[in-house]
Chain A
Amino acid sequence: AQSVTQPDIHITVSEGASLELRCNYSYGATPYLFWYVQSPGQGLQLLLKYFSGDTLVQGIKGFEAEFKRSQSSFNLRKPSVHWSDAAEYFCAVGEETRGNEKLTFGTGTRLTIIP
């Protein structure tokens, strides 16, 4: 069965500093990988996704992620965070199901931004 590990429950970063959120997955085949962001009291918004091809994926809001098959990782990065990036971030792996995918989520990383 597929699984996702986000080892950091909570990260605090200064505004303007760089950010890396870690994600490790377990999946038998080539995975579909996703990063979602959830602001307090809101639903989930897709930041970026990887299906195949270029292992460095660009997303919205200046985020990027790199797929590393040898390390089973899909870490999320941003070169300079803004106060509005404070939120909870979820990594997910998708199992293809009749043209769509069932998502398995990690437990999330809560990001706090300090001035």
Chain B
Amino acid sequence: NAGVTQTPKFQVLKTGQSMTLQCAQDMNHEYMSWYRQDPGMGLRLIHYSVGAGITDQGEVPNGYNVSRSTTEDFPLRLLSAAPSQTSVYFCASSGGPGTQYFGPGTRLTVL
């Protein structure tokens, strides 16, 4: 039981490049979410999903796409990276109220 896994751990992109941050969980959780963490701003919700095929926007969705084709995976796509997207990204999954488990994070730098 690996919990919530995220890949890669670190990534450097150039402005305009695209990439996908991977998130997977093996707890059969319906609810998954993506947050970004910036200094002095805490964590902010980007997108979330309440089950396969269902996604919705959070507080800061612009510049990010998500899809949920399986219960296990919830990838986050940056279509055209911008320096403002330099951040640490956390994926989380939840099996019910008060049970959110966070992954170890992906540190992204956009030059």
Contact = CB atoms under 8 A, between A and B. Distances in A.
A8 B96 CA distance: 31
A100 B58 contact: no
B44 A105 contact: yes
Contacts of B50: 97-100
B97 A51 contact: yes
B101 to A, nearest CB: 8
B104 interface: yes
A112 interface: no
Interface footprint category on B: 20 to 34
Nearest to A4: B42
B40 to A, nearest CB: 6
B18 to A, nearest CB: 25
A65 B41 CA distance: 23
A29 B68 CA distance: 30
Interface of B: 30-31, 33, 35, 40-45, 48, 50, 58-59, 90, 94, 96-98, 100, 102-105
Interface of A: 4, 9, 32, 34, 36, 42-46, 49, 51, 90, 94, 96-108
